[in-house]
């Protein structure tokens, strides 16, 4: 697995080298941005919570959220009641984005968002399997690692902009860029398999039918020839469906 700490350090070094010949770089902003890149490798849980709070609020403000009495939110509430109201002790809030896009994601602050486009093509068992998978990325620490990379990249952009006197901090368009990177984070195959198993185990623990994971993967694989936004960062759906089928067959 690629070392995220190495990626962050390499990005910071490359940017310092690139900026070394720029005469009008603000030294203070450059130092602050370099510190941000270094701090990304050791983001505390409090830092992660603060950043995800901002990101989730930003995305909520940019999307149409399903009304509390809508059929979409009622469906998601039913699924939420089955999966539970916390991830590793962090309270979860579930909302639906009204969009034709097919996607779902979860953040470390308990922010879980499901797109109506995904709910339109899947039944409740399948949606539950997908949401459980996204919650798995949070519970297993994958989203924190993805955040480190997204934060380092955003900090790197502020270094480049420091030549124009812009402060090296996440704000405005940088926050939007950071949020997009976070929800479109690419996970390794090992992380994907672990999140699949988390969803399977969570459902078995709650005496729920996990077979929706299998049919959800099959539907995603068929969508646009396997080129859906979810599959761009969630590869090898047929193999993952087979893995869950094997677990169901062996009852393990």
CA dihedral sign of residues 178, 95, 222, 212: positive
Question: Residue 207 has which token pair?
Answer: 């005496």
**pLDDT given at position 212:** 95
| Side-chain-facing half-sphere of 239: CA atoms under 13 Å | 8
pLDDT of residue 91: 95
**Residue 85: predicted pLDDT:** 92
Our count of domains for the chain comes to 1
pLDDT of residue 41: 55
Q: So what's the pLDDT on residue 228?
A: 53
Q: What range does the domain containing 239 cover?
A: 4-250
| Alpha helices for the chain (secondary structure H) | 4-19, 27-40, 45-62, 71-83, 116-121, 124-139, 142-161, 173-183, 189-205, 212-222, 237-250
pLDDT value for 236: 65
pLDDT at 225: 55
8: which 2 tokens?
């962050």
Q: What is the pLDDT of residue 186?
A: 80
Low-confidence ranges of the chain (pLDDT < 70): 1-43, 153-172, 224-236
What is residue 170's predicted lDDT score, i.e. its pLDDT?
A: 59
Q: Which of 62, 126, 134, 192 is catalytic?
A: 134
What local confidence, expressed as pLDDT, does residue 188 receive? 84
The pLDDT of residue 224: 54
3-state secondary structure of 86: strand
User: Active site includes 126?
Assistant: no
Structure confidence at residue 4 (pLDDT)? 32
Cβ atoms of 112 and 76 within 8 Å: the answer is no
């Amino acid at each position: 697995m690629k070392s995220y700490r190495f990626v962050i350090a390499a990005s910071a070094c490359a940017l310092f080298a690139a900026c070394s010949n720029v005469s009008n770089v603000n030294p203070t902003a450059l130092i602050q941005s370099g510190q941000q890149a270094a701090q990304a490798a050791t983001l505390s849980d409090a830092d992660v919570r603060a950043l995800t709070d901002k990101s989730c609020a930003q995305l909520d403000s940019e999307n149409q959220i399903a009304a509390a009495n809508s059929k979409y939110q009622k469906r998601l509430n039913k699924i939420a009641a089955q999966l539970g109201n916390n991830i590793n002790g962090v309270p979860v809030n579930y909302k639906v984005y009204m969009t034709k896009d097919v996607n779902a994601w979860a953040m470390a602050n308990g922010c879980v968002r499901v797109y109506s486009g995904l709910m339109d093509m899947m039944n409740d068992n399948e949606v539950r399997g997908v949401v459980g998978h996204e919650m798995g990325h949070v519970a297993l620490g994958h989203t924190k690692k993805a955040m480190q990379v997204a934060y380092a990249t955003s900090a790197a952009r502020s270094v480049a902009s420091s030549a124009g006197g812009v402060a090296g901090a996440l704000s405005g368009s940088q926050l939007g860029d950071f949020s997009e990177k976070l929800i479109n984070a690419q996970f390794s195959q090992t992380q994907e398999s672990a999140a699949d198993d988390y969803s399977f185990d969570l459902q078995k623990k709650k005496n729920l039918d996990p077979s929706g994971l299998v049919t959800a993967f099959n539907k995603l694989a068929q969508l646009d020839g396997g080129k859906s936004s979810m599959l761009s960062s969630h590869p090898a759906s047929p193999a993952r469906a087979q893995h869950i089928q094997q677990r169901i067959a062996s009852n393990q």
